[in-house]
Amino acid sequence: MRYSGMRILAEGLTGNRGWGPAWRTPEPRPAYDIVIIGGGGHGLSTAYYLARNHGLKNIAVLEKGYLGSGNIGRNTTIVRANYFLPGNSEFYSHSLKLWEGLERELNYNVMHSQRGLINLFHSDGQRDAFARRGNAMINQGDDAILLDRDGVRAMLPYLDFEQTRFPIYGGLYHPRGGTARHDAVAWGYARGADRLGVDLIQNCEVTGIDIAGGRVTGVQTTRGAIRAGKVGIVVAGRSGQVAAMAGLRLPVESHILQAFVTEGLKPAIDHVISFGMGHFYISQSDKGGLVFGGDLDFYASYASRGNLPMVEHVMEAGMTLMPMIGRAKVLRSWGGIMDMTPDGSPIIDRTPVDGLFIDCGWNYGGFKAVPASGWCMAHLMATGTPHEVARRFRLDRFATGHILDEEGTGSQHNLH
Amino acid sequence: MRIPCPHCGTRDRREFYYYGADDYLRRPAADAAPAAWDAYLHLRDNPAGRLRDLWYHEPCGSWIAVDRDTVSHDIHGAVAVADLGGGRT
């Protein structure tokens, strides 16, 4: 069924009896050409683009829980292309272009809202670094505007411009940045993949990866063995466990990142604001809740919840930046399991096992990457060669020294 | 989360800095192959469950190895890295 305004009107006039499930619930078949492990944003978009861009038909996505039950539903929904390093810059630029056509492409409302992103800076040195970043963004073909203090004040008059700890010198404004409805992204890709013939198999946990003669031959699951010509591991925070089934150790450590949402309020914050010096960023959802977060808790964790010191730190940073939110009541906090790489950049690559591919290491920035990650992983799995914009996301880059350290803090597990 | 320092007793998590899994204690020999250094610096088991990882207790200036569950955040004990030979070969 194609969704449209006319369809809503017609259904509304006929008691909404025509809506069906958005995707099938198939039984797993004994064999597929391609099996994707992980039914989150990246796994579903990989399956979608394998079918859509490469004409492949015999594909299954295996999800241990329900579709979109991992980080795609636990993030803070920010979409941006404000990267600096060659390797990252062209990838996120590609992703933002895919976002801009995503709703038409999927015939699904992902509520992509280009409300603009402002990264604040607080010193002359930081301004110079942001000016350079802005130039890199413009050179990449994206947009960036360097705002001075008065420019920020005109757009965000409610910030505390009098505070002395981190005085606001200005901001780097990225007008095409914004947010999207995170669950809808998973659902849109799921529906799109299903319509192209991909089997989406839920409640199907992979328990083993079969390898014969150095080549992957299939997977063992809680719903039986499934043979496969190619297998893609797209499981974010759980990458270590799944890769271990194939005898691999990854340059990944899983960490906890917390996020928070308040009660619904009237529209007050029109943009996405990031306050890097205080480790705080915020936007307001279309439902009215203030959605905000900070930095990692900074210890390895799979708990999907964090500890109180970081809660306190995030609240303090928020109050430093915008005291007006002090009366808002926090409704919920939660944590996502971040697959952190030593240099803070992702991996989309082959593995030493023939036919086994991996897409992981999204750190704290996986949501905006969902379209391009799937696009590039699909390209790699279908053609055997890396996509041009993801060619530096190599699994072996830590051994060879070709690291992608966007933050400039080093390439070691405790630094990002 | 509260962490037991072998010298100071159980203390607030905020007194500690995190370093990572205890792979950092198994430093390869200086003439080891590059692959051994890659494994030491970058590759991790990254278990969902029991993990021994390294924390620095700032007030007393000691490195400790904590036996911790990464799923439940339960802590099953800690020892001073100095008592393990400090990782020096």
Burial group, residue A384, by CB count within 10 angstroms (0-12, 13-18, 19+) = exposed
Domains and CATH numbers, chain A: 26-77+182-251+343-400 (3.50.50.60), 112-177+253-340 (3.30.9.10)
pLDDT band at residue B85, thresholds of 50, 70 and 90? confident
**Which residue in A254, A301, A340 has the most chain B C-beta atoms within 10 A of its own C-beta, making it the best mutation to test that interface?**
A301
pLDDT tens per residue across span A170-200: 999 999 999 999 999 999 999 999 999 999 9
Q: Find, in chain A, the residue whose alpha carbon is nearest to that of B34.
A: A399
Q: What is the pLDDT of residues A335-355, one digit of tens each?
A: 999 999 999 999 999 999 999
Query: Which amino acid type is present at position A56?
Result: L
Q: Is A405 exposed, middle or buried (0-12, 13-18, 19+ CB in 10 A)?
A: middle
Spatial CB neighbours of B38, under 8 Å, sequence gap ≥ 6: A398, A399
Taking the CA atoms of chain A, what radius of gyration do you get in angstroms?
21
User: A163 pLDDT band (50/70/90 cuts)?
Assistant: confident
| CB within 8 Å of A403: residues ≥ 6 apart | A342, A343, A345, A397, A411
pLDDT-based confidence at residue B8 (cuts at 50, 70, 90): very high
Write the CB contacts of A81 (distance below 8 Å, at least 6 apart in sequence): A89, A92, A93, A95, A96, A137, A140, A142, A174, A176, A177, A368
**Spatial separation of the C-alpha atoms in residues B79 and A180, rounded to whole Å:** 46
C-alpha–C-alpha distance, residues A95 and A371, integer Å? 6
- Region A370-388: what's the mean pLDDT? 98
* Token duo for residue A164: 């002395």
SS3 content of chain A, % helix, strand, coil (to 5): 30, 25, 40
Mean pLDDT, chain A, as a whole number? 97
Domains of chain B are: 2-84 (3.30.2270.10)
pLDDT score of B86 more than 70: no
Q: Which residues contact A114 (CB under 8 A, 6 or more apart)?
A: A79, A100, A175, A176, A177, A178
Nearest CA in chain B to A239: B46
Of B43, B47, B72, the CB nearest to A251: B43
Instruction: Quick: pLDDT tens for A118-132.
Output: 999 999 999 999 999
Answer yes or no: do B41 and A398 touch at CB < 8 A: yes
**Binning pLDDT at 50, 70 and 90, where does residue A1 land?**
confident
The answer to whether residue B70 neighbours chain A at the CB level (below 8 Å) is yes
Q: Say if residue A155's pLDDT is above 50.
A: yes
Instruction: Report the predicted TM-score, pTM, of the whole model to 2 decimal places.
Output: 0.96
Residue of B nearest to A341 (CA): B42
Q: Using CA atoms, how far apart are residues A365 and A345, in angstroms rounded to an integer?
A: 9
Does B87 have pLDDT greater than 60?
A: no
Q: How far apart, in whole angstroms, are the C-alpha atoms of residue A399 and residue A140?
A: 28
pLDDT tens per residue, range A193-229: 999 999 999 999 999 999 999 999 999 999 999 999 9
Averaged pLDDT, A61-68: 97
Give the model's pLDDT for residue B81. 94
Alpha helices in A59-181 (DSSP H): 89-100, 102-106, 124-139, 149-155
Over residues A146-168, mean pLDDT: 96
Torsion of the alpha carbons at A201, A305, A365 and A45, rounded to the nearest 10: 10
User: Residue A304 corresponds to which amino acid?
Assistant: S
**ipTM surpasses 0.85:** yes
- Alpha carbons A221 and A185: distance in angstroms, whole number: 26
Mean pLDDT of A76-80: 97
User: Over the stretch A285-299, which tens digit does the pLDDT of each residue have?
Assistant: 999 999 999 999 999
Substitution target in A245, A253, A339 with the highest count of B β-carbons within 10 Å is A253
Closest CA to A38 of A68, A16, A73: A68
Point out which residues pair with A358 in neighbouring strands.
A233, A349
Residue A414 pLDDT: 84
**A65 secondary structure, DSSP code:** S
For A84-116, the pLDDT digits (tens) are 999 999 999 999 999 999 999 999 999 999 999
Q: What is the pLDDT of residue B89?
A: 44
State the smallest CA–CA distance between residue B19 and chain A in angstroms: 5
